[in-house]
A and B are shown apart, each in its own frame.
Chain A
Amino acid sequence: MRASIHRSMRCQSGSSLLLTILIVAALAILATSIAVVSIGDRTDSRYDRHAMQALAAAETGVAFAKSLIISQTAPLEDFDSDGRPDFAIADTLDWGGRYTVLAEASDVVEEDVTAFLSNGFTIVSEGNYLGAVRRVKVEIAHDTYFKFARFVYQHSIQFECGDVMAGEVYTGGTLSLSCGCPVGEEPLFLEKAYAVQRVPQADCGIFEEGYEEGVQVIDLPGSLDWEQIRDKAHGIGSDNACEGRGSVGIYISLPLTDPLDLASQAGWDLNTVVLHYFDFCNTTLAPPDTVITYRSIPVMNTVTGEIMRRDDFNGIVLFEGDARVRGTLDGTSAWRLSVFGTDHGLIRGDIVAGHFGYDPITRLPNNSGDPVTTAVIAENYVAMDDGTPRILRIDAALFSRTSNWRCLGGMGNHPIGGPGPLDLDIDGIVGETPYNNDPDPGIGWDELNITDKHWILNLTGPIITYAQGDAYPWNAEPIQGAASGPTHRYNYDLDYMRFPPACFPLPVNLWIDISWTEIFEARSALAEHLPN
């Protein structure tokens, strides 16, 4: 028995130390694990902080790039020789971190991105902060003038009792309002109003979406480059498309260059583009192509020397000097075109915009299809010409780069309009009599029996001018005193946002964000994330 105990004790000698070492080792492993896990956790959270700072640095880089684009001071180059302007900037931030940015002009195509499809920028930015790297990709595009019902670059603007502005309003000066209007007749702004200076009588009007004073100046004169438009009309620019469509326009320099033979239009229409003389749906003249005719005569493509295919037309009709225009764009004559005049824009009669749809058998417009829009764009003023009738309907965006919109001729220079039946309030009901119930039942114009008292100027579309406009004589006191209804109305049409006229000028320093994406791949060259 004793021998057995001795044997056992001999076997156990040193085993407690061994056991202890095992326990200590286990505890060491446990401690190491805890340390590793906690340190890892701390490292993760610290990296999270650094990654957040890296993202902030990337965003800061985007902000600097946007600022350079907006102020038109970006150091534009073309480092990848793809014909699109681009630039690169990089800097270390005072508050830590660093950004590297590449930006390139790009085609931004997005729902509700309209007149500026080829005028966006893609910006890719990389932020670094203590080893953390984050990348973002941002697309911006020019904002549009079409959101403004009224835009006056330089001067102040005054709104009267009863004025209703359905689009945004901008003035480079002060936005003034008539006070003391009857209840319900206060100047009404359904969208936001902006003034570079002040809105001193703000309490006299109703601003549904508010107003903003002291806003930055939007560069109107810089928005239109005549050389660029001229090149597009000739089809010789680096990019001749308007909103991605077409490759050539119609260039007119009377009397020598007269591709539409306007000189042969005798009388009132001499040298005037009459819009409904266009046929953009001729399928018989050069099958299988759909080609363009004007007064049934083919319009030639000055680049190819062949009949101009409809798809080749970018929508620019450019006059050197004064542009004269009137007519209807509807059905087969419908196209989103803009008439440019390097001097004045003279409106010689109604400009009516309808829809693209038409009956294939009768070829008459049938009010189907997308709406069509048009514009009259001039270096100098845009005017309702002397001799236009007293009842005038202008469905067009008006743009004057250095002047205003106006009406030429006094009260004796505009003949009686009509005859009826007409639709003077553009409510779709023709020939309302004795009143067109506009704005209240029992009053308004007689749309059937037109007299010399009928003075109605209906302007539908944004009016974008350097200076104020004037509706005289439509707003003359004797004419308004004898009127049965409103003598001049400014209507706003949202169709201009979605279906813009061709190559309408862009507010070059007014941009909107289109998209923001994080790039989760940080090893490739930054330039690889720019569009091809």
Chain B
Amino acid sequence: MPAKRSRTGRDMGSAGFTIVEVLISLMLIAIAVMSVGQIFAMGSRNVAMGRTETIAVSLVREISEKIMSEPASDLPSMFDGVDTAEPGTLTQPCEIWADHLAAQLGPLGRGRITVRDPEEDLSLLPGMFSVEVDVSWIAHGDTIHVPSRFAVVRMAD
């Protein structure tokens, strides 16, 4: 009897517990896989976002360096009002930049430049210009902006 009890009880008990274990295990694994999947998706989005952001930063740098290399007095005519979404506003010094922007950010990418003189930007001193470069793109329905703003001053040409 003790042996039967023992055998039956233990065998029955062990077998049932194993099924429960398996079910719980499957449930846990499913939850874990789902969570990891979400984290993975979020990570992918983050990495993609970071990558795009890095590209945008490099595009802002590219045009900023170009702007700073030009005589300040020429900046309003060369760069003010440039908008890559409106080809009519593109000036010759910005054409290559616009090409790079389109190639790297796709059709949803956009670059805009605004040049302000001391009359438009009261924080400036005479002879200075402020330049605002804004690169934006649309991701997951949101428009993401990478702006940069700096001042330059007119020197001898």
Contact = CB atoms under 8 A, between A and B. Distances in A.
A95 B149 contact: yes
A27 B43 contact: no
A512 B47 CA distance: 43
B150 A56 contact: yes
A409 to B, nearest CB: 38
B146 to A, nearest CB: 6
B46 A38 contact: yes
Specify the main secondary structure of chain B where it touches its partner.
helix
**Interface size of B as a range:** 35 or more
Q: Give chain A's interface residue range (CB within 8 Å of chain B).
A: 35 or more
B46 to A, nearest CB: 4
A82 interface: no
Contacts of A27: 29, 32-33, 35-36
A63 B128 contact: yes
B151 interface: yes
Which residue among B49, B61, B153, B157 has the maximum number of chain A CB atoms within 10 Å of its CB? B153
A303 interface: no
B54 A45 contact: yes
Contact of A42 (B21, B49, B60, B130): B49
B119 to A, nearest CB: 15
Given A10-B14, A27-B32, A59-B68, A38 B128 contact: no
A511 B153 CA distance: 11
A56 B149 CA distance: 6
Contacts of A12: 18
A181 interface: no
Contacts of A64: 125, 128, 151, 153
B7 interface: yes
A9 B57 contact: no
B89 interface: no
Contact of B29 (A10, A13, A20, A68): A20
Contacts of B53: 42, 45-46, 48-49
Interface stretch (A28-36, A106-114, A482-490): A28-36
B21 A34 contact: no
A235 to B, nearest CB: 32
Contacts of B127: 67, 70-71, 216
Contacts of A96: 149
Nearest to B118: A67
Interface string B131-157: 010000000000000101111111111
Contacts of A94: 123
A30 B35 CA distance: 11
A347 interface: no
A185 interface: no
A37 B43 contact: yes
B72 to A, nearest CB: 9
B35 A31 contact: yes
A269 B61 CA distance: 64
A48 B39 contact: no
5 A-B pairs with least C-beta separation: A38-B43, A20-B25, A38-B46, A45-B50, A56-B150
Interface of A: 6, 9-10, 12-14, 16-17, 19-21, 23-24, 27-28, 30-31, 34-35, 37-39, 41-42, 44-46, 48-49, 52-53, 56-57, 59-60, 63-64, 66-68, 70-71, 93-96, 140, 143, 192, 212, 215-216, 507, 510-513
19 contacts: A9-B11, A14-B17, A16-B18, A17-B25, A31-B35, A31-B39, A34-B39, A35-B43, A37-B43, A42-B53, A48-B53, A52-B148, A56-B149, A67-B125, A67-B126, A70-B155, A71-B125, A212-B157, A512-B155
